[in-house]
Every structure is written in structure tokens, then in C-alpha cells.
Amino acid sequence: MWKAVNRPNLLIKVPATPECIPAIQQLISEGINVNVTLLFSLKVYQQVTDAYITGLESYGANGGDVSKVKSVASFFVSRIDSAVDNRLEDKIKQAQRKEKEKLQSLLGKTAICNAKLAYQYYRKLYKNDPRWKALAVGGATPQRLLWASTSTKNHAYGEVRYVEKLIGEDTVNTIPPATLAIYRDRGGEHSDSLITDVEYAKNTLEQLEQVGISLDEVTDGLLAKGVKQFAEAFDKLLSAVEKKRETILGKGVNRFSYSLPQELEAEVEKTIADWQDTGKIRQLWAMDADLWTGNDENKWLSWLGITKDQLAHLDRLQSLSQEIKDLEFHYAVLLGMGGSSLCPEVLRLTFGKIEGYPELHILDSTDPAQIKDLESKIDITKTLFIVSSKSGNTLEPNIFQQYFFDRLQQKLGAESAGNRFIAVTDPGSHLQKVAEEDDFRHIFFGVPGIGGRYSAISNFGMVPAPKPSLKVV
């Protein structure tokens, strides 16, 4: 996004989840502006400021201009009062008179008190912290506090409560237009309200804990709900874009033709719509096992990201392609079974023999007649053998490897034999051990989180692929 938009005032929005705190630090360390969103907790805010300062230190240490990096920490305000007030109301219904008065006195107080303490931490940090002072010398600017969700959900508190009570130096308030109009028209207060009644704010939050309401528990729940709402909104955005795309492109969308029985096609369309509307596509990309049985399905979904991973390491496949061409092998034989041989077979049939590259053959049968037929078509001294086995323990490819390795040993010697073999297997497998002992030319690793039938674009499909298919990746 940062590179595509290419504007210095862009801020990339990242939620303040435990998983995203390291991402925030990483982005800042690369000089990318960040809007840290969905902040509710002072504890989490402290983690966010540390991520910002650490990221700036890293960026500066690598020669970056820290004065160019900007960030805000977006605290969501009114949602906190709504959540806490709901819990207080439940307790008020069951409380005795004296306890009821104490509970009622806490209604609508939590969010602003929480914001005041966050602002106190902000001021202390950016005024006294030695790490920050060193960065400020280089022109770094503080990560401003931003107040979000500042329209009043409970109108009994007044329309501009979260405007008048959240005024302070170096802060931002993303006021909804309607709230801004009311504040402007009524001539609302504009004193530096964030620095007043700080002790009262501390006492109020302590009282909240005393009556049995955990602010940490509330803010954790708000964060989880907020992330879910953001994700659902993004799903709706993607659906809207897809519908617009279909409207504009019409028949130009998905030009590949296919035909399914009418009843089956209706079920397929219904299922696709359900996955879009209920966020199941997002769950899939999040590797959420709850889509199925909730057991270990998430451990077998690494195929979702394999294309990007292959593109990031494409140079190794391209180097192999050029190496094999330079060595002038006449033939390449894939020794594999099932998922290890299916994609190479499709690519062989699709692309055929490529000029300047060895002709690919597939051996996935222990039928002696088929093995003999293959041998009659090749010169094994001019052949590259690719032993492909995910587990490394599959009987058939191991037998193939032993047979052809022995045949080559007899003709060329042990050292030359190993030089004509490549292994494709998961890390730590028996085949890896054999390949290392017999000094194979190369070992390419699979991804343990990809099942055999889903391995087409992993090394199991791409290592034996004809050269054009490297471009397909």
C-alpha cells in the first residue's frame, strides 16, 4: 500500500493486537507511517509506544531520516463507556441502596478517565524518556494520541462530552461531522481538559476494579469485537468491489468456460455467496480450523501463501533451470507417486519438450514393463533423476532411486551417480538423509504444512517443471 500510494502523508492502519505490535515496530523501522488503531488499554498503549520508539531507533540506525516518520495511536473512547456501563447497569439492578449509589456514580466516567491516564503517560514519555530525547535530537516527532469513536452513544451525557473533555496539546480528535457541528454551534468549552482531575481519574478506575469490573477484561473484549467488525467491513467492501467489477466487465470476467449440471451449479453459487457473506473466505486466509472441525486443519493450509513464497525465492528455480540447460542433460525423469507426480505430469503434457532443455518423463509405477519401457527411451548417463517424496519414506520412489542409482554407479561410479540426482522432500526426512549421504546435486525442500495433493506450486511441482512454467509461478 505504501509503495502503491506513494504519498508521504499516508498512514497505514494497523490494529493494536498482540500479533500486530511486532508488525507496527517493523513498519516504523522501514520508514512507513502507521495509524495504530483499536487502542482501548493503557497497558497495550505502553507496548505501542515502545514499538514506535524501537522502530524509529532501528530506522535511524540504518541511515533513515527519523523526522520523516509519523504515527498516531488511536484510542477508541465512547465504546469503553458503553461496555462498562452495561456491566454497571447489571450490577445496579441487583445492588442494595448504598452500593447502588456508588455504582451509579461510576456511570459514564471510565472512558475519559482512561484517556486522561493515557495522556499523562504520553506527556511523561515524550518529555523525560532518554531514548526519546536521543531520537528528538534527530528531528523525530511524538506519536500523537488520537481520540476515535467520540460521538456520544448515551445522549444523557451530552452531545459533545468526548470533545470538551479530550482537549490537550499534540492530540487529534476525529470528530464526526454532526458532533462537530453541535460543538461549533453551541460554542463548546475549549480548555486544556486532559491535564485536569488526573487523581480523580486514577481513583475512579480503582473504584471500578473494587466493584468487580476488570477494565482489562472489558478492553480485551472490545479489541476482539473491533477486529471482527473491521474484518466484516472489509469483507463487505470486497463484495461491493466484486459486484461493481462484474457490472462493468460483464462477460469479460473469468473468460474460462466451464459447465456444471444445473442443480450442482446452483449449489456451488450458493456456497460461494455464503462464504463471502459470512466471512468464511477471510477465515480460510486466516487459517482458521473452525471452518472444519477445529482440530488440526489449520496445520495443512500453507498452500495459501506458497505462490508468494515461491516468487520471493524464484531465483533458485531459475538458477536450477539454467544449470540443467548448461549441463546438456537429454532427459529428466521424475521418480514419484501420487501428489508428487501429478503436477509434473500435467506440466509435461501441457508444455511438451522445450528446446534446449531435457525431455521430462514421469515414473510413478512399479510395473516392471513400464520401468523397462522408460529405460528403452532414455540414456541413463545423460539423464537427470528427480526423486520426489514428501515424507521421504514412500516405498516406490525409494525403490526407483535405489535401482537407477545402482545402474548409474555401475556405469559411472558412485561420485558421478549422485551428481545426477535431485531430491525434493520435506525437511528432516529419510530421503534428505539419503541425498546427503549419496551427494545428490541438489536438495529442494517442501513445506510441511502442504499436503501432497496441494503441492503443485511448491517445489514438488516447480522443480521438475519445464522452463515456461517458471513464469507461471
Q: Would you please indicate which residues are annotated as catalytic (active-site) residues?
A: 13
Residue partners of 188: CB distance under 8 A and separation at least 6? 160, 163, 164, 182
Q: In angstroms, how far is CA 370 from the centroid of its own chain?
A: 46
- Cβ(117)–Cβ(45) below 8 Å: no
C-beta separation of 14 from 23 below 8 A: yes
3-state secondary structure 16-47: CCCCCHHHHHHHHHCCCCEEEEEECCHHHHHH
d(CA 107, CA 84): 8
- Tell me the three cell numbers of residue 79: 465504546
Which cell is 420 given? 545426477
224 Cβ neighbours under 8 A, 6+ residues apart:
none
| CA distance readout (Å), 453 to 133, 184, 405, 461 | 56, 64, 27, 10
Q: Report whether 446 contacts 459 (CB < 8 A).
A: yes
